[in-house]
Homo-oligomer: A and B are copies of this chain.
Amino acid sequence: MHPKQQRESFRSNQYTGTTSGMCDNFLQANMIILPKEYAFEFLLFCQRNRQSCPIVDVLEEGVTTPKIADADVRTDLPKYRIYRNGQLDKEVTDINEVWQEDFVTFLIGCSFTFEKALLENGIRLLHQEQDRVVPMYKTNIPCEKAGRFEGNIVVSMRALKTEEIDKAVKITEKFETSHGTPVHIGNPEEIGIIDIDNPDYGESISFDEEERTPVFWACGVTPQNVGLNVKPPIMIAHVPGHMLITDQLEEQ
């Protein structure tokens, strides 16, 4: 399906699941929406933490259509999270009712963008095969602070065969605005992940630990995680794994 059609299936709530594996070749984006009062510090946070928060588009105050997608950010993602004062308030399939004219929308690169390149190079993706949302974890790796925004990065995990790891590093390092090269390979405890079977976002996947090694990429859920520490009166994001599919072809 073309991105426009795919987004229409989200808008009409025909589909409200993960976008992993959808619309090959098109860039997918994390989304975070904040009142303008927070916009400077948040943009600076992204600029200082480019690997976890690579900005691909910013929609100015009150704007609902990105430059990189003929879409409406209020309706065209499969599922949204509304946070109030740093707490999850609810999950919804559109945000028309809570939209404010002072909202600034940030689109941030997503590792789903490079998944097709991994598949084309013979690397199997277990979360797609097992029909799960990719597992994501909070880590102990600190971001560089900007104003009120501070916290640790979130990572997505793919379990790869040892002989595939070098190839995966080389493939993904070219995707600079989609988190690039992995931030960690192997031992999850080293980056503060205690239980690989209990991700903080997404769903766990089954893999043979003798045969496969967990490989971790920086994740655009980081700002969602960090934004919660700031406790803005309202903050809206996509449900992790349920991205904006843009009209922009992937890089490389």
Chain A residues in contact with chain B, CB under 8 A?
Answer: 36, 39-41, 43-44, 47, 55, 58, 60-61, 104, 146-147
Contact = CB atoms under 8 A, between A and B. Distances in A.
A83 to B, nearest CB: 20
Contact of A147 (B55, B61, B146, B147): B61
A41 to B, nearest CB: 8
Copies in the complex: 2
B147 A60 contact: yes
A36 B40 contact: yes
Contacts of A40: 36, 39-40, 43, 104
A55 B47 contact: yes
Contacts of A39: 40
A55 to B, nearest CB: 7
A19 to B, nearest CB: 26
17 contacts: A36-B40, A39-B40, A40-B40, A40-B43, A40-B104, A41-B60, A43-B43, A43-B44, A43-B47, A44-B58, A44-B60, A47-B47, A47-B55, A47-B58, A60-B146, A60-B147, A61-B147
Q: What are the 7 closest A-B residue pairs judged by CB atoms, nearest first?
A: A40-B40, A39-B40, A43-B43, A60-B147, A44-B58, A40-B43, A43-B44
Contacts of A43: 40, 43-44, 47
A232 B147 CA distance: 22
A37 to B, nearest CB: 9
A58 B144 CA distance: 13
A61 B37 CA distance: 13
Contacts of A47: 43, 47, 55, 58
